[in-house]
Amino acid sequence: MKVGILTSGGDCAGLNAVMRAIALNLYENEKNVEIVGFRDGYAGLIRGEAVPMQRADFEGLLLVGGTVLGTTRTPFKLMSVPEENGATRLAKMVASYKKLGLDCLFTLGGAGTHRTAALLCAEGCNVIGLPKTIDNDIYGTDVTFGFHTAVDVAADALVRVRTTSESHRRTMLVEVMGNKAGWLTLYAGIAGGADVILLPEIPFSIDKVCEAVSRGYAAGKRCCIIAVGEGAVLDSEAPFKRRERVFVRADRGETTVTRHLAEVIGERTGAETRATVLGYIQRGGEPSAYDRVLCTRLGSFAAQLCRRGRFGVTVAVSGNRITFNALTDIAGKYKFVDPNGEIVRAAEETGVSFGR
């Protein structure tokens, strides 16, 4: 059996742990296994740069953050566009797959990675996907690996921000990653004790946010913590397309709404206000204990699917079960926070404001 592994898109904790589980399952249960890794995601497959890997290369990866194979973003929309020599990137990947004589290709990535994986399947390649993203927005799975580690990091940051905010009696806005979906902001906000949580799925009113801030101080609180999703939008921006919102924000010299909101809150409430962006620390570092277990389950199950000859699928979590979905059923789809879902309602009923 000869298989390939690649990690594509943004990095996150758990990529190495999943690769380890795939490899160790195959080594333990198959007599003859050859594994190659592709450097820098689909870019390595396009170039046909396969790196032979041995069992020893995987043994110590459970606690290692990032990805030892490296990763890049290779836009899905460019996969079928002819390049200078007339060949498409997709054609080059299929040619590399066939030239290497792969029995299966494991693709670890998010929504874009899954869309490209579906294209490879349509061209006759045996592909098994694994759901990676701190955004937790892949359709068809309850949770993605890397998400809970990022929640732990962001929630810890919110708790640390609260201690300094209380010392200075400040309102602190903390920007959390998540451009399209607000799962990370929602979970981190609740776990970190945020007073206000702003999500891409729930356009917010500045008036409502300012009311929440003023109400908290009037009730005797010494600070106000606002978790702001990277993709959060004002209710006045909601009717416009993303491109139109980008132009409006560019006029303010901003890409997100966080700093603009901080200025307005300070002006309207008189509160001393600060904004901070957590950024890439949410994606870095070793995986949490939860993610180490999840990665082991997902990777081992993916290897089982490969040994059974079940291809064209991506591994998923459903309740307490590890299962799979057809790539054609989930590629190009996203999972968003339900504005009226149980988690949001529970937070609102305990006093959290979503600015609506």
CATH number at 2-146+287-330: 3.40.50.450
Distance CA 37, CA 59 (A): 15
- Short-list 260, 316, 344, CA closest to 128: 316
> Is 90 exceeded by the pLDDT of residue 243?
no
Least confident among 216-225, 247-256, 331-340: 247-256
- Residues in contact with 197: Cβ distance below 8 Å, sequence separation at least 6, in sequence order: 185, 186, 189, 190, 226, 227, 229, 347, 352, 353, 354
Q: Is the pTM of this model over 0.85?
A: yes
Q: Under CATH, which architecture does the 150-283 domain have?
A: 3-Layer(aba) Sandwich (3.40)
**Cβ atoms within 10 Å, residue 82:** 10
pLDDT (0 to 100) of residue 84: 75
Q: Average pLDDT of 168-172?
A: 96
Which residues are known catalytic residues? Answer: 135
pLDDT tens, 81-130?
888 778 899 999 999 999 999 999 999 999 999 999 999 999 999 999 99
Q: What is the percent of the chain where pLDDT is above 90?
A: 88
Distance CA 186, CA 337 (A): 9
Q: Average pLDDT of 136-157?
A: 97
With tokens 């693709």, the residue in question is: 107
- Residues in contact with 143: Cβ distance below 8 Å, sequence separation at least 6, in sequence order: 136, 294, 317
- Short-list 52, 18, 32, CA closest to 299: 18
Quick check: do 2-146+287-330 and 150-283 share a fold? Answer: yes
pLDDT tens, 209-237?
999 999 999 999 999 999 999 999 999 88
Domain ranges of the chain: 2-146+287-330, 150-283
Angle between the N-to-C axes of helices 147-168 and 289-308, in degrees from 0 to 180, rounded to the nearest 10: 160
Q: What is the percent of the chain where pLDDT is above 70?
A: 96
Q: Average pLDDT of 318-345?
A: 96
